[in-house]
Amino acid sequence: MAAKLVLGKGLAALIADKAIEIEDRQSTSSPTEVTERRFRNIQTGEVGTIGLLPIAQISPNPFQPRMDFEPEALQELKESIMQKGIVQPITVRRKPDGNGYELISGERRLRAAADAGFTEIPAYVLDVKTNRDMIEIALIENIQRKNLNPIEVALGYQRLADECGLTQEEIAQRVNKDRTTVTNFIRLLKLPREIQESIRTETVSMGHARALLGVEDPEIQLELWRRIIEQQLSVRRVEELANKINRQKKKNSRKKESKSASEKLLDIAEVENTLRNKLSTKVKVRHSKKGSGEIVIEYYSADDLERILEAITNPNAQG
């Protein structure tokens, strides 16, 4: 759909400025009357038009990316609407069956207007036919408004990838961000659930989250996360601890590899000693790094060779 070309600039880019007529002069009219005067004379109900729609005919957005609606913020918006009316239209699409409308963006305004006693709300009707386009516009518009917490943004990006089939590069183009920014947000979803919840509630910052992602072990991530909360650690301090943990992990890994190599050498020496005792002659085991090798058995005469052969073929023979 053509709308995708301008979504990176926000949903406002889809709506012509001339379609919105807002009267800024002083008025003694009620907020409802002010809202009606602003939008009543504008054609509504058809795609590409803006005007007042009955709130009862507008269904919630089934693809809403926002999970948290703070009661305090909704109350403030309600009070603002009661004092000044509704200035900015919500965006909707016609339902596929033609019965009513489906919200695209503006759920906070819709909820606040309903709570304030409004029965109608200014709305811009977009031409959005497929659920895929609906998901994409809803996610991008919410992300562009910067009113989502980091986890909601991350989930939004992930849904654009999973449900809309977009690559991280394409997502970055849609939301007008760097690809690394999109990648860093999606990586948040790899953190344990408890840490994601803290990011969502802003108990820990994005900086802390990125530092925690520098550690691969989820248990260590949780341990560091608890220290962040209990000791109020700075982002720099968490980065230092993460680097220290990674250095220690590499050191322990090298020690383990060295110990493993020594154990292999010890096993080979034991094999040589066992064969030497069994065959009563010098035995050399040559073992390569690939795991293959050879066994060299020395003998000093034809009789000695026959004795060794007897020892090998007859387990009960005495050396």
Nearest to 275 by CA among 307, 299, 297, 300: 297
89: helix, coil or strand? Answer: coil
Are the C-beta atoms of 174 and 8 separated by less than 8 Å? yes
Pick the catalytic residue from 36, 102, 107, 141.
107
Question: Rounded to an integer, what distance in angstroms lies between the CA atom of residue 172 and that of residue 178?
Answer: 6
State the alpha helices, DSSP H only, in 24-106. Answer: 31-39, 71-84
Q: Which amino acid is at 209?
A: A
- CA torsion sign for 231, 234, 236, 239 is positive
**Percent composition of the chain: helix, strand, coil (DSSP 3-state, to 5):** 60, 10, 30
Catalytic, 170? Answer no
Q: Which amino acid is at 316?
A: N
Question: Rounded to an integer, what distance in angstroms lies between the CA atom of residue 117 and that of residue 316?
Answer: 101
**Residues contacting 224, CB < 8 A, separation 6+:** 211, 212, 215, 238, 241, 242
Question: Rounded to an integer, what distance in angstroms lies between the CA atom of residue 217 and that of residue 191?
Answer: 10
Question: Rounded to an integer, what distance in angstroms lies between the CA atom of residue 46 and that of residue 318?
Answer: 103
User: Which bin fits 215, alpha (ψ -120 to 50), beta or left (φ > 0)?
Assistant: beta
State how beta strands 58-59 and 283-287 pair: unpaired
Catalytic residues: 107
